């Protein structure tokens, strides 16, 4: 992969140097800054792809799922407030600790939230995200419900496929949910989506409660 990342690093670095010169004509500056932006985007796609291809083994530790969720929500709080997205949480108290790779589980929640943000803003410039957790015998369920456009029934079976995206060109890689699926499978859990047309999308992540 260095075969791709080294040239990208070169493009980013050299275009940055040109942008730092004061005597670049405005028209050229705009083009160079486009080159720089696109090379940065290619780098971030490459990173996603590497995570996807590597399928890292999770580093399992006892952790509190509510704390993991709150950590991710905190990261997005100011952006969501600015974008007109309200967040409601209803996190069950006294949930048992789960065995998880917190960084990977947070990556899953982050992707679900980023998708919800994107589609709610795209459809009606804001909305409501509701997050629940609950305990059902030996699984803990985390639910993320948005009031965006929802997911058409005909594409619902495809959303976890690698490279499947309906975001506008340049906005999505289609890797988020497939990576998420891999991570949750490694945790012996389940991830799925439900959607009624026009009534938003709901993502459900189920993780097992470890035996005593």
What helix, strand, coil percent values describe the chain, rounded to 5?
50, 20, 30
Instruction: Kindly state the smallest distance separating residue 181's Cβ from Mg ion, in Å.
Output: 12
Measured from the CB atom, is 15 or 160 closer to ligand ADP? 160
| C-alpha atoms less than 13 angstroms from C-alpha of 121 in its C-beta half-sphere | 14
Q: Which of 15, 115, 178, 202 binds Mg ion (CB under 5 A)?
A: 115
Instruction: Kindly state the smallest distance separating residue 149's Cβ from ligand ADP, in Å.
Output: 6
Burial of 69 (0-12, 13-18, 19+ CB in 10 A): buried
- Binding mask 174-193 toward Mg ion (x if CB under 5 A, else -) reads --x-----------------
Instruction: Kindly state the smallest distance separating residue 58's Cβ from Mg ion, in Å.
Output: 20
Could you tell me where the beta strands, DSSP code E, fall in 3-116? 61-63, 85-91, 98-100
Is there binding between residue 148 and Mg ion (CB under 5 A)?
A: no
Measured from the CB atom, is 97 or 118 closer to ligand ADP? 118
Cα separation values, 136 from 38, 92, 104, 133, Å? 45, 11, 23, 10
Chain contacts with ligand ADP (rule: CB under 6 A): 111, 115-116, 119, 146, 148-149, 151, 159, 164-167, 172-178, 201
Chain contacts with Mg ion (rule: CB under 5 A): 111, 115, 176
């Amino acid at each position: 992969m260095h075969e791709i990342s080294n040239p990208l690093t070169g493009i980013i670095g050299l275009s940055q140097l040109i942008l730092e010169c004061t005597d670049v004509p405005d028209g050229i500056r705009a083009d160079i800054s486009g080159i720089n932006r696109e090379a940065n985007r290619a780098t971030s796609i490459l990173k996603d792809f590497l995570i996807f291809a590597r399928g890292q083994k999770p580093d399992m530790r006892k952790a509190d799922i509510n704390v993991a969720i709150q950590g991710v929500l905190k990261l997005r709080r100011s952006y969501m407030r600015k974008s007109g997205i309200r967040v409601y949480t209803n996190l069950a108290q006294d949930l048992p600790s789960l065995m998880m790779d917190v960084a990977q589980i947070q990556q899953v929640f982050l992707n679900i939230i980023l998708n919800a943000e994107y589609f709610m803003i795209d459809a009606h410039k804001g909305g409501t995200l509701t997050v629940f957790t609950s305990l059902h015998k030996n699984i803990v369920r985390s639910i993320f419900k948005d009031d965006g456009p929802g997911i058409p029934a005909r594409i619902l079976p495809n959303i976890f496929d690698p490279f499947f995206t309906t975001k506008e060109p340049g906005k999505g890689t289609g890797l988020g949910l497939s990576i998420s699926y891999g991570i949750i499978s490694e945790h012996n859990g389940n991830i799925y989506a439900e959607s009624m047309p026009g009534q938003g999308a709901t993502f459900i992540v189920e993780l097992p409660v470890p035996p005593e």
